Structure 1
Amino acid sequence: MNGETVLAAFRAESQRLYEKVCGIPEAEWDRPSPCDPWTVREVFAHLTAAVGRVGVMLAEPEPEPSGALVTAAGYYAPDERFSPGVNEVRIGAAQESAGSYDDGRALAEHFDAVWRTVAAACAKEPPERQVRTRHGDAMLLSDFLVTRVVEVCVHGFDVAAGLGHPPWPTGEAADVVARLLLDGRPYDRPVTVAGAGWDRTTFLRKATGRLPMSASEGTAAERHGLHWLTLG
């Protein structure tokens, strides 16, 4: 996907997420999220750290040019990075991070500062800029930023559900995530099951495990072109 398009989606979705949480009452942050055992506060701390990794990667030396670059879809391959052991570490890190802020508003303000810093840094980089993930993969920055749009959008579903709010994805981010799930195609032909069509947000929530999907629905989604991602 075009790097400028992905960056615009990252900006839009991050701004939307901040606006949705910056004013919620403190008690709301401790509601359970769909990402058991995380609370809303903990899943938000996780996605904040996930966004912040971009800045860490850009501060490191650029990988030597190589033909073995991992794509955004390849980043979600079912391998060690999504193993039970790694997920346990991921869970504990988010819980520890969530406890380091005075309150939810402080966490929200930190996220707002982090994503803005990341967006500004990415805007200065050339299209061919490569980064190395914490798992050792070399990727184009633009492809890694696609995965950060996924983090903010999909965990935004989790935050919204934990708060009891309707999902709020921006059109820009929803299009980026849909194209990742559909091998570059937009979601322009609604998946139809038993005569009912899914809108794009419903498709995204089902395809990422945020809503249940039956076997028949999964078959219909695969006929539509769904490429399954492994998500932690």
Structure 2
Amino acid sequence: MPAKSRTYQHPKVSAALVEQTTALREAVRELCTRPDAAELLARPTRLGDWTVRELVAHLAVQVGWVPAHLGDPLEGRAPLDLLQWVARVGTVAPLLDEQARGKAAGEFGGDPASVAAAFGRAADGLVAVLAGDDARDPGRRFEIRLGSMTLTDMLVTRLVETVVHADDLAAALGGPDFPHARQAVAAVTRLLADALADRAPGGAVELRVPPFAVVQAVEGPRHTRGTPPNVVETDPLTWIRLATGRTGWAEAVDAAAVSASGERSDLSGHLPVLG
């Protein structure tokens, strides 16, 4: 049976998004005040041919999406849950690429100080909206190209964007891991673990991502008692990188970032779950 979408608590999701967005704003500010900021903005990333400038522009689009569209009228699109969003969001990749490039050439095309200011406006806009009454109704509908979501679920998708791409930014700059909001990482870890169970339903493998998620997946004999015969265990950031294609399965296993035991424990054929 396919996995059922998990329910997320609106106040926790909102608070996590504020914390994650605030940390991103500070990271972009620090980047843009460095003496070599112009060179850093031109650096390549692990996202095809995007530069750091285009990555920051994309993040601004994603951070600014809720403030820009919260008041849009409903158009009757079909309901979309989070697992459906994970499965389908890759289909709009060309549009997201176009948006990022346009933003990078326009509002984010100036000197580093203007880039920091533009990102700050987007971040401040989201934080302000989340503090207002319009964003406090968890059941409010929010429409995107793929369908109609609850506002809470929409905010979870913003957590995915800000966690995954903050990690991309840290990797491009060659620095330490990004200081993610703990609850942001928790929500993204759980959603992507559930997405694996949805994509590869079954009970043959137990995926453990302590302290945030445990799911069973992959077709085969279902484990019910004792130690599971097929176990995969990893940390949250490694799981997020695996689930989004930032890290390859063999690479993670060779680096001992993943522990996999049992003849069915190789998940490489089911990854990534979000492209």
TM-score range, shorter chain: 0.7 to 0.9
Q: CA RMSD in A?
A: 3.1
Q: 1:114 aligns with which of 122, 137, 162?
A: 122
Structure 2 SS opposite 1:61: coil
The equivalent position to 1:147 in structure 2, one of 154, 157, 175, is: 157
Conserved in 2, the CA contact under 8 Å of 1:183 and 1:227?
Answer: no
Tell me how far 1:227 sits from its aligned partner: 9.1
Compared CA separation, residues 227 and 57, structure 1 to 2 (3 A): farther
Q: CA 1:187/1:227 → structure 2, altered by over 3 Å: closer, same or farther? A: farther
User: Greater CA radius of gyration, 1 or 2?
Assistant: 2
Q: Are the equivalent residues in 1 in contact too, given 2:189–2:213 (CA < 8 A)?
A: no
Question: In structure 1, how many angstroms separate the alpha carbons of the residues matched to 2:192 and 2:69?
Answer: 25
8 Å Cα contact 1:76-1:229 kept in structure 2? yes
Task: With a CA cutoff of 8 Å and minimum separation of 6, indicate the structure with the bigger relative contact order.
Answer: 1
**2-11 or 14-23: which moved more?**
14-23
CA distance in 1, matches of 2:103, 2:212: 41
Please give the alpha-carbon distance, in whole angstroms, between the structure 1 residues aligned to 2:171 and 2:94. Answer: 22
Q: 2: distance between equivalents of 1:23 and 1:196?
A: 37
TM-score by length of 2: 0.69
Task: Provide, for residues 59-83 of structure 1, a one-character-per-residue CA deviation record: whole Å limited to 9, x for no partner.
Answer: 212456x9x52112211224xx524
Q: Which residue of 1 aligns with 2:45?
A: 33
Aligned twin of 1:167: 177
Whether 1:10 and 2:20 are equivalent positions in the alignment is no
Counterpart CA distance in 2 for 1:230 and 1:197 is 19
What residue number does 1:93 align with?
99
Gaps of 5+ in 2: 1-7, 32-36, 196-207, 215-230
Q: Percent identity?
A: 30
Contact between 2:209 and 2:233, CA under 8 Å: does it hold in 1?
no
Cα distance, 1:197 vs structure 2: 5.4
Per-residue CA deviations over 1:166-221 (Å, capped at 9, x if unaligned) read: 22122121111012123399742799xxx995322222222221211239869648
Relative to structure 1, is the Cα distance of residues 221 and 11 closer, same or farther in structure 2, using a 3 angstrom cutoff? farther
Asked if residue 229 in structure 1 is aligned to residue 255 in structure 2, the reply is: no
Higher helix proportion, which one?
Answer: 1
TM-score by length of 1: 0.80
Select 2:112's aligned residue among 104, 108, 111: 104
Q: Please name the residue that 2:83 is paired with.
A: 73
